[in-house]
Amino acid sequence: MPTVTLLAKAYNSPQVRQVEKNLKSTFEGLRVESKALGVTSRGWIQISVSGEDENAALHYLRDNIGLCPTDLESVERFSTLKGCITALNENKTELHIDVGVFSPSVVDAAIPLQRLQAQLGDGRKVPLKKLNELFGFCENLPLTAKVLSVSKEKSHMEAELAERQQRLYRNWTESLLDRLLILGAHYDRIELALNRAGFGRDVVDVEPLGMFEFAVVCKLGTDAAGLIPRIGKGLREATFSVFSPRRILGFLEDRATLPIF
């Protein structure tokens, strides 16, 4: 009975049960049984799969959700890994990404501040705290990183933002639309909170960033931060952050072009 760790985090027990329910529905018609076993110490969801069609089910999980590498031996140099920001306020010189390596010990992918400055700050000596503020970085925000080096002896990974992540931020900035980042809530809960608050006309879309992480795309002229007081009451379990193109462009306003990510 294979046990795998999904590249998806759950923030509470109901979300684990929701994942199990969704997988049972997805695998309907296959001769396979799936069960949610719980989460790791950092919230990654663990699933057991068994039955004649378990290989097909495992391929689905790998291709559509993603699987954590779990150990450093499985991480290769120059590989692209999706993870979540962690230990945000504990370091001023590196951004740490939890990419699902936890056996035999937890190892994060560390992005040095100098690389972030080159990729997001147009090469300026911008403090990490300022970059966090500009790009809405917060605990558990999904990011995609490219591994530059792996040291099994030192239990260390160095990385940079992957091209797809830079392209995403470039597209978000060029759109000039604020995005309210909501972490730790189900899509249906977010939709319900937005509708109850009467924000239907202020929102263009709700983009998935992960299984329980979303970006609410605001219409031009709508301030994403202004949505939080109204919908926060219905999403008490969630974490909120804001991605504001105006703030980013304002910070780099003395340059003639958009930031080069």
CATH of the domain at 35: 3.30.70
Question: What domain count does the chain have?
Answer: 3
Task: Single out the residue in 136, 163, 190 at which a domain terminates.
Answer: 163
257 occurs within a structural domain: no
Query: Do 82 and 57 lie in a common domain?
Result: no
85 plus 144 within the same structural domain: yes
Residue 79 sits in the same domain as residue 139 = yes
Mean pLDDT in runs of 10 for the chain (261 residues)? 94 96 95 96 96 96 96 96 93 94 95 96 91 96 98 96 97 97 96 92 95 97 95 94 96 57 48
Same domain, 211 and 190: yes
Q: What is the pLDDT at residue 34? A: 95
Q: Are residues 76 and 158 in the same domain?
A: yes
Query: Which pLDDT belongs to residue 200?
Result: 82
In a domain, 169, yes or no: no
- Domain identity same for 30 and 78: no
Asked whether residue 96 falls in the same domain as residue 60, the answer is no
Residue 207 lies in a domain: yes
Look up the domain containing 185 and give its range.
179-243
17 domain residue, yes or no: yes
In a domain, 83, yes or no: yes
- State the pLDDT at residue 231: 95
Residue 156, in any domain of the structure: yes
What pTM was computed for the model?
0.93
Per-residue model confidence (pLDDT) at position 91: 81
| Structural domain contains residue 254 | no
Q: What is the CATH number of the domain that holds 101?
A: 2.40.50.140
Cα atoms in the 13 Å half-sphere on the side-chain side of 82: 19
